[in-house]
Each structure stands twice: as structure tokens, then as C-alpha cells.
Amino acid sequence: MLQSTGLTNSDSSAAKTATPSTPKVSVPCGCGPSASQAAVPKNIQERIAKHPCYSEDAHHHYARLHVAVAPACNIQCNYCNRKYDCANESRPGVVSEVLTPEEAAHKALVIAGKIPQMTVLGIAGPGDPLANPKHTFRTFELVAEQAPDIKLCLSSNGLMLTEYIDKIKELKIDHVTLTINMIDPKIGEKIYPWVRYNRKRYKGIEGVRILHEKQMEALDALREADILCKVNSVMIPGVNDQHLAEVNEVIRSKGAFLHNIMPLISAPEHGTHFGLTGQRGPSPKELKAVQDSCSGNMKMMRHCRQCRADAVGLLGEDRSQEFTKDKFLEMTPEYDLAARQEVHEGIEKFTAEVKAAQAAKIAKTVKKGPKILLAVATKGNRLVNQHFGHAKEFQIFEVDGADVKFVAHRKVDHYCQTGYGEKATLEHIIETIADCKGVLASKIGLCPQEELRKAGLEPFEAYDVIDKVALDFYEQFTQSNESMGVL
Ligand code: CLF
Ligand code: SF4
């Protein structure tokens, strides 16, 4: 195995101080700003710095909370079953508890105390927030009054956005997501069977035309209001996959800040039209190809986890079961602005130090080479800090000796289920990350090490900042491959 020169599990104090709960930092090296992040103007960087969806850097450290206060919807998408989470912003799964605005605000204040790195309150379903305007805006009002440092975030299909733009401005909602899957109603006809507008249901292309016009007006209204707009597009192979480049052009020209092309989730058991008619979702490779084809035009989001409408925590984790209604209603809110700010300052100090250290290292040792992909087991905080067997997803980084760039995440079943590794699970993990050259984890058992190596994936144990470990790996990997004449 290539040898980690970073901290080991038993000698990991520097990396452990990088966690938000202990803000003191001493880090040997770290991460530089990604190219896309550096290209963002400073005033916008400040607006997105603590938003885990709008900033890839932020998603390693900051968390979001979704409150499910919006059950109704005003359109029908063929990838949605009303009994399930909104597939625009959630993976399918029943939202067992729709909340009142008062319950939702209580939950937000409880979680703001317990998870101080929770910086964003999002309303993303389970239906469309703007088809439930009373509950949506009341929730935002209550939270804004009592927790002014929490950013408010809204996700909608856009049909009713222009009707509520003044309210959105008044509440200072600075981040709005629109789900736009088409700009051609003929393609939209294959996605939306009906649209309900002004108390009337419009079927087929008539409804889709209304939706399209309203979505375009919504983009204009958000640009004019200087609200940061992210567009989500669900990629549906054979329906809109070839069309998404045109969608990308149009949303960019209308001022959208970020484009999130996400894969269709479709299975018969979800009971959706697409699920029942066998419409498949894209493979990770197909998704990446479309994302890459659009990335020259604008900033692309690649770290979306298609989270539940009641999700809690960092994007890669789901702590919703810790805060079910019966539990959070028993908890007393301990929102403390000063304590939250202290934690955020710790995170900012940590990220500034690792960026400075990275810049210094690059200035001294930069030696760009061929790009390789690495799979990283992480529990967050931009650290290699998880056992291989415990990982439920791997973050994929592209490394070229100078830059370490997050490019994707891949969900897996964790290998170590009951204290023992599952052979079939390991095979599936290997298949999922087969395009990588190495696997970085805090610990990797001897058996998976052997299997990984057989599949051409070099295992690498470390407990440290991802960027440092990735560059260490790259250096050793290229040296050993150069000496063998492979690179
Ligand atoms: Fe929620 Fe959406 Fe706001 Fe984020 S999610 S309302 S912008 S706070 Fe984020 Fe979840 Fe992807 Fe959405 S990872 S599904 S993009
Ligand atoms: Fe379902 Fe959301 Fe589409 Fe409404 S907008 S039908 S809730 S996916």
C-alpha cells in the first residue's frame, strides 16, 4: 500500500481540531479555492459562504434544515408521487410528519442550538412551497424574527413565483431554487401531464406552456430582485438529456447563478408514472457527461444529495430521525447567537488557514500531471475521517498534483454491516468507484485492501485534511507509476 505521510488515526489531534465544535486549528496543509469558487465575485462569495448547496466549499462544514410545511402541489411531474417527498429536492421517501409553521419554527430553534453549523432553513416540500404560501411564509417569518442569522431558502417549481416576489423580497429570502426541466413545451409534455393555475387545471401542452412562461418570468423577477437563483433540472434519459444544454444557455442568459443537473430517481415501488412505465435514470457517467458539457457556460452544482423535504444536517448525512416530531417538541430551544457565531468563526479560521497553507505548498512544489480520480471516505469537515467499511457514500475528487477538486459523490451500501464485511457489497462499492485510482479512508481492513488493489484501486489510510492526503497520495502514486513507466 502507498504510505500516508499524514496523521494516523491514533495521532490525529491537528485534524480533529478542525471540527466545528472545537474551533482551535493547527493544520499542516489544506485546500485552495476551487477554480469555480475563485471566479465568483467577492460580494457573492460572502452571500454563499455559509450555504451548503450554493457553495461546494461550504458543504463540507455547514448544514441545512428542511421543514416539511408544504404538502400541496399545483402541477404534476411524472417523476413524483404525491405520497412521497418532492423529487425535485428530495429522494423518494414518505414525509411522515407535515409540520405547522409554529412546530417548524420550534424545530429550527432547537436544531440551531444543537447543530450550530446549521446555517440554512429550506422549505422544499413535500409539495411546492408556493402552492402553500400561508404556511411557507409564516414559517419564514417566525424563524427570521427569532433567529436572524439563519438564511432562508426556498425551492419551487416557479409557477407562482412572480405572484409572491414582493413577499420573498420583504422576508429577505436570498436563495431561491427553481426546478426547470425544459424550455420547449413539446419536451415538457412528456414530463408534466397537468398544471393547475388560477383555480383551473390545464392538461397537456396548454398547461406546460403556462408553466414554461411562468418559469421564465420567475427567472427575470429573481434577477431584477438580485436574489441568488439556483436552477435544478432533473435529467431524464431519452426525454430531456439532449435538451439540458439549451436549458443551461437560457437560464444563464436570464441570470441564474448555479445549475444543478440531478439524476432522475425512478423505481416502480415509488409509484410514479416514470417508475411504473420503466423510465430509467441516468448512470453516473451519463450524468457527468451532461454536467461537463454545460460547465463551460456557468457554475455547476455537483454535490447535491437530493435530500428529503425534512432533511437535517450536512448534505451527506441525514439526522432527521434524531429530530422527529415527538422528540423535538420535547426539546427546549437553546438558540444562542453568540455561541453560533463562535463556531462559525472557528470554521472560517480553519478554512482560511488550510487555504493559506495550500497556496504556500502549491507555490513551492507545484508539479501538475495527469488528472486522476480519488474516492474519499469522509464524515464531513473536509477531512479523511471515516472507516472504509462505514462509508455510505464516497466523495470523488479530481487531482492533478496541484489542484484537488470535488467532482461528485457516489452513494453505496456500507461494507461493514454487522461487524463483518459483505462480499457482494464490496463488489458493488468497487464497481461504483471503478474509475478512481485510489481510496482514501481513516482505516481499511486487510480483506477490502486486497480486493481494492486487485481492481486497480490503491488503498490509502490517513486521518487529515482531504486536500493534503490527496496530494500526498498523488505524489507517491505518480512516482511509483513513473518508475514503472506507466505514467
Ligand atoms: Fe434545501 Fe434546496 Fe435550499 Fe439546499 S437542498 S431548499 S438549496 S437548503 Fe441542496 Fe438538497 Fe440538493 Fe436541494 S442538496 S436537494 S440542492
Ligand atoms: Fe411533485 Fe415537486 Fe413536481 Fe409538485 S413540483 S409534482 S411536489 S416533484
Establish if 477 belongs to a structural domain.
yes
Are 129 and 251 found together in one domain?
yes
Separation between Cα atoms, residue 307 and residue 298, nearest integer Å: 23
Are 358 and 321 found together in one domain?
no
Are 188 and 99 found together in one domain?
yes
> Which residue numbers in the chain have pLDDT < 50?
5-38, 85-94
Tell me, what's the pLDDT at 94? Answer: 44
Picking from 291, 312, 328, the residue at the C-terminal end of a domain is: 328
Q: Which ligand is nearest to the CA of 317?
A: 1
Establish if 57 belongs to a structural domain.
no
Tell which atom from ligand 1 comes closest to the C-alpha of 52: 4
Are 185 and 228 found together in one domain?
yes
Q: Is 197 exposed, middle or buried (0-12, 13-18, 19+ CB in 10 A)?
A: middle
277: its cell numbers: 412505465
What counts of helices (H) and strands (E) characterise the chain?
A: 16, 17
Are 74 and 204 found together in one domain?
yes
Establish if 344 belongs to a structural domain.
no
Of 89, 90, 123, 128, the residue with max ligand 2 atoms within 8 A of its CB, to mutate for a pocket test, comes to 128
Tell me, what's the pLDDT at 40? Answer: 82
Q: What is the pTM of this model?
A: 0.81
**Which residue has the CA at smallest separation from atom 12 of ligand 1?**
89
Return the residue matching grid coordinates 387545471.
201
Picking from 313, 328, 343, the residue at the C-terminal end of a domain is: 328
Phi-psi region of 48 (alpha: psi -120 to 50; beta: other; left: phi over 0): alpha
CA–CA–CA angle 256, 211, 295 (5° rounding)? 30
Which CATH number characterizes residue 421's domain?
3.30.420.130
Are 206 and 312 found together in one domain?
yes
**Which residue has the CA at smallest separation from atom 7 of ligand 2?**
127
Task: Write the CA distances from 152 to 66, 141, 195, 228, integer angstroms.
Answer: 10, 10, 27, 12
Establish if 339 belongs to a structural domain.
no
Total structural domains in the chain? Answer: 2
Establish if 415 belongs to a structural domain.
yes
SS3 23: coil
Are 250 and 372 found together in one domain?
no
Are 159 and 242 found together in one domain?
yes
Separation between Cα atoms, residue 55 and residue 348, nearest integer Å: 14
Separation between Cα atoms, residue 479 and residue 16, nearest integer Å: 29
Are 229 and 285 found together in one domain?
yes
Backbone angles phi, psi at 121, to 5 degrees: -105, 115
Determine whether the shortest distance from the Cβ of 177 to ligand 1 is under 6 A.
yes
Are 25 and 75 found together in one domain?
no
- Find the DSSP H helices in 162-319: 165-170, 185-188, 204-224, 244-253, 273-276, 284-294
Tell me, what's the pLDDT at 487? Answer: 55
Of 150, 155, 228, the residue with max ligand 1 atoms within 8 A of its CB, to mutate for a pocket test, comes to 155
- Could you tell me how many residues make up the chain? 487
Are 294 and 413 found together in one domain?
no
Which CATH number characterizes residue 124's domain?
3.20.20.70
Q: What is the dihedral of CA 134, 138, 140, 141, to 10 degrees?
A: 140
Query: 162: which DSSP letter?
Result: G
Q: What is the DSSP string of 262-303?
A: EEPP--GGGT-HHHHTTPPPPPHHHHHHHHHHHTTTS-B---
Establish if 383 belongs to a structural domain.
yes
Are 468 and 374 found together in one domain?
yes
Q: Which ligand is nearest to the CA of 307?
A: 1
Tell me, what's the pLDDT at 114? Answer: 96
The amino acid at residue 448 is P
Establish if 474 belongs to a structural domain.
yes
The amino acid at residue 442 is S
Alpha-carbon torsion (10, 16, 335, 71), positive or negative: negative
| Domain of residue 129, residue span | 62-328
Determine whether the shortest distance from the Cβ of 76 to ligand 2 is under 6 A.
yes
Establish if 335 belongs to a structural domain.
no
Tell me, what's the pLDDT at 37? Answer: 41
